[in-house]
C-alpha cells in the first residue's frame, strides 16, 4: 500500500515527465478523432493540454479527498503548500536561492491553483463525469497559436458535442439548477488558464523581459530550481 508523502521539486519534475507519456498514450487511445490530424496538430493539442490536465486532475483528487490543504499529485504523493520550503529543498545540490527565498519568489502557483481551480472544484463537488467533460474541453481547445483550420473545426465540433452531453447528463438527474451548475463548472476553465499562466514557459529569450514572466520561466532563466530541458521541451504548452 502506497503511503502518501511530501515531495520536492525534483521528484515532481521526474513524475511529470513520466506522466506526460502516460497521458499522451491515454489521449491517443481515447480519441481516435486525432488520427485525422497532422502530427504537429496532435502535438500542439497534447502539449497545450498536459499542464492544464495536471492541475485539473489534482483538483479532482481534492474533491475525492474532501480538502485542498495540500496539492495532491496523480501518483498519490503531494506538495505541501503550507511548507513550500520543503518543496524547494534540494538535498543533492546547492541552489543559488535558499529554499525560503525560492518559496517566497516562486510560491505563487500553489495559492493560484487553490484559488482558481481546486477551491471552485471542491465547492461544486465535481464528479467523475464532470471532471472528464472538463478535461475533454481542455484537450480540444481553440485559438491556439499554430492551430490549423481543420484542427480548429474538429475541436469546435467536439466541444459542442461535450456541452450537449453535459446538458443531457444534468437533465437525467432532474437537477432544476443544472444551468447554474454547468455555468459554474465552465467558469473553471478560464480560471484554470489564469493559473496555468504561472507555470508556462516561453523558450525564446526575448520573452524574459515580459512583465508577466511566470514561475517556471523565471526559474529556468535564473538557472535555479529549473525543471530542465527535458521537462521544458516535453511538457510545456505554448501560448
Mind listing the pLDDT tens digit for each residue in 215-233?
555 455 445 455 556 655 5
Q: What cell numbers appear for 212 in the block?
A: 508577466
Give the separation between CA 30 and CA 53, rounded to whole angstroms: 15
Helices (H), 117-177: 119-124, 128-139, 149-172
Give the separation between CA 20 and CA 17, rounded to whole angstroms: 5
Give the separation between CA 156 and CA 94, rounded to whole angstroms: 48
Q: What cell numbers appear for 189 in the block?
A: 476553465
Is residue 55 a contact partner of residue 62, using CB atoms and an 8 Å limit?
no
Residue 2 included in any domain: no
Residue 1 included in any domain: no
pLDDT over 90 (residue 141): yes
Mind listing the pLDDT tens digit for each residue in 183-199?
999 999 999 998 888 76
Q: What confidence score (pLDDT) does residue 184 get? A: 93
Instruction: State residue 92 phi and psi, 5-degree precision.
Output: -95, -30
- Count of domains for the chain: 1
Question: The domain spanning residue 148 has which CATH number?
Answer: 1.10.565.10
- Stated pTM of the model: 0.82
Provide the CA 159 distance to its chain's centre, in angstroms: 19
Query: Which residues, in sequence order, are bridge partners of residue 71?
Result: 79
DSSP assigned state of 114: I
Residue 3 included in any domain: no
Q: Which domain holds residue 136?
A: 9-235
Amino acid at each position: 500500500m502506497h503511503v502518501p508523502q511530501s515531495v520536492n521539486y525534483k521528484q515532481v519534475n521526474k513524475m511529470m515527465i513520466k506522466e506526460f507519456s502516460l497521458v499522451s498514450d491515454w489521449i491517443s487511445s481515447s480519441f481516435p478523432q486525432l488520427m485525422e490530424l497532422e502530427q504537429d496538430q496532435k502535438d500542439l493539442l497534447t502539449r497545450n493540454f498536459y499542464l492544464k490536465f495536471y492541475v485539473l486532475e489534482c483538483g479532482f483528487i481534492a474533491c475525492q479527498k474532501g480538502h485542498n490543504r495540500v496539492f495532491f499529485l496523480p501518483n498519490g504523493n503531494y506538495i505541501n503548500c503550507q511548507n513550500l520550503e520543503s518543496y524547494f529543498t534540494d538535498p543533492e545540490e546547492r541552489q543559488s536561492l535558499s529554499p525560503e527565498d525560492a518559496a517566497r519568489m516562486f510560491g505563487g502557483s500553489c495559492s493560484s491553483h487553490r484559488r482558481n481551480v481546486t477551491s471552485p472544484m471542491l465547492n461544486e463537488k465535481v464528479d467523475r463525469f464532470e471532471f472528464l467533460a472538463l478535461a475533454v474541453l481542455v484537450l480540444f481547445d481553440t485559438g491556439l497559436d499554430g492551430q490549423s483550420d481543420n484542427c480548429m473545426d474538429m475541436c469546435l465540433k467536439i466541444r459542442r458535442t461535450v456541452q450537449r452531453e453535459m446538458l443531457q447528463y444534468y437533465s437525467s438527474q432532474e437537477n432544476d439548477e443544472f444551468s447554474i451548475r454547468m455555468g459554474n463548472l465552465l467558469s473553471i476553465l478560464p480560471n484554470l488558464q489564469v493559473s496555468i499562466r504561472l507555470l508556462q514557459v516561453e523558450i525564446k529569450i526575448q520573452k524574459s523581459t515580459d512583465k508577466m514572466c511566470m514561475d517556471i520561466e523565471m526559474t529556468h532563466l535564473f538557472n535555479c530550481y529549473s525543471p530542465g530541458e527535458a521537462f521544458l521541451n516535453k511538457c510545456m504548452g505554448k501560448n
